[in-house]
Structure 1
């Protein structure tokens, strides 16, 4: 069946126009709580932690981000020296300690063309960084100097904070600035000559990912939440060999784990895919794993589920392959909101999902409904049903 992803990777885990949007994902089945506050699409998606994002333009007046908030200029004409700054604070409004980090979202871009006829994307020429500050910067020079120790090349779904920071219940972070600028050393390689289209960032924003901190204690110790998800941004690669062993909760629009081209992933961790809509806001996805190109994904274990899938858009693939990709499942538990979409390959592709283990909720991998020869139980294995669960075991 064709998956609802017309423009693959146009944006993520989250995140398509410079307007603040708030999505509360409460009542999930997670044992661990996570929370995400993101800017522009400024999105706040929550488990049962309560994190808020405050912003200021002058360090005097602080406002909670809402759907209408614009923190960055979506139509900025980037040129050498051009700088944008926003001041932020993360507020722990809940009664659980949390830890958080700041990343960029999966923004979209308009492509430019320089006088040499070379096509380019503007983020290649931008720098981004963060700095704590008690006062608003006096000018762009001060802003750029403040991030000298943290700045890096702009990129999608990239952590820009130094590390995870911990906030006690009802506490707030020190104010910090996010600075984006084009260095004055950039030349005509970024000088667009097209009058009808300008290179720009579309839907650029920040994601403040938060998860439980191991601080509260129960009757025994403070380790009951030590397995809370610690990876809160999508994992993506187009080459190389990668292993995922830390529990994840990430944007599922194009896959919490995205394998492309020749990349190979081995997964032995929980992967929760958060439902996220596209730029138009009309359709969404909650894929835990997506494999494309000639990539390969091996799933050895973990719990794979979907979070926040709405009643009006319930048909979301959980594990999906297209192109010439292969997915091998050796273990794990799999539960999709629409069970028929637990495992799926794109129609007309050469992709294949081979099952040698695992337990599937209301889904029998030996009798898939989406297409012939897309999902197969390997020779030497068979399915045993136990109530609503179908378990693949060796003969």
Structure 2
């Protein structure tokens, strides 16, 4: 009996020891593993190569890389003359891209006859194997910031190319007026990601919003780009909630891309090399306020409440009005309307161009100028150096028929100082004289009658009764015309 009890006790102790040992161990399961090392995520590269060669060169070895050296230079143009290059765009990277070639910053100098030679220069895009200049051209003067040609190169096209020729030809009917005239311009090739490659969900839309370098689509992007400087292109219409500013020391070129900036306008404290190809509508303040330097201006600017262009804005200092030194090299086209749907006096009314006492516009070669009283005001006697073109309108009057335009001199379509030289342009007036400096060999040519005033008569200012000049209804009416300055 004692032996049995002892055995049972030993068995119990052994079981307890086994449980204790089991608690200190782990279970083993079937396992396996695979290791994949050295994974790398590397961005693809977008790399566009741009080369050129002469039209008479035929081998690939003749191509040279396009650099900063001007290509269309030192060419003596004459009627019928054509000149150009073969160009080659190459995908030297690993991503598909869209590309476009454009001409920008087109500036003309009229020579002795003050003409725009870009009007008689046609731009052709041809097959590299074309033996003659044929097809439908684009006028060079109409191409400012416009796309000349474009294309797409896919990733599998790496080191493959797209080739084309660009030829500029002077019209055969260009006459002697164009002797000595010249035009300058820049050539730009830009590339952006194309919606070609697919992502993991079999979609190629992930880069559909890619834009060309310098393209902005929001007001925030636009104002930030002005702070940075460089080439800026507007990709979409934007609304500014405050005035956009080009800071002092910053240089920009602004292509409005055919789009519209509304709400507020632009203030320039730096350098705007060009502002072209679109519309600015300022619902408050100036459309364009220039306190520094602008090269080429060719766009549409309207101010609902003030001047379209205010060049050389001034401030009151110790009771004296002091203007800034705004300089505009050339206004080549566009439309500039200041508060143009409401009549006001010459002093209180807005205008297409306000030129301050220290401001200078070196050349007006085109553009449509109008205001609620006068087309432009010029407070610097040397402020507008030359007018070779443009349309200067002053059509508005109040409900009593009052207007600021004088009955005899076209000079009253503007206020204060006349341009130093006028060899072109169309001027709105009842009279047939101009007090501005028209060089010998130029004359006024009567144009279209203005229907708005054809059934009214003009009454001059009466100093004795202090009655201002005004219009009155008259079935016969005063004949009111547009007059154009032309060569004899």
The TM tier, using the shorter chain, reads: 0.3 to 0.5
Highest Rg: 1 or 2? 2
Calculate the TM-score normalised by the size of structure 1. 0.45
Calculate the TM-score normalised by the size of structure 2. 0.37
* Higher RCO (CA 8 Å, separation ≥ 6 residues): 1
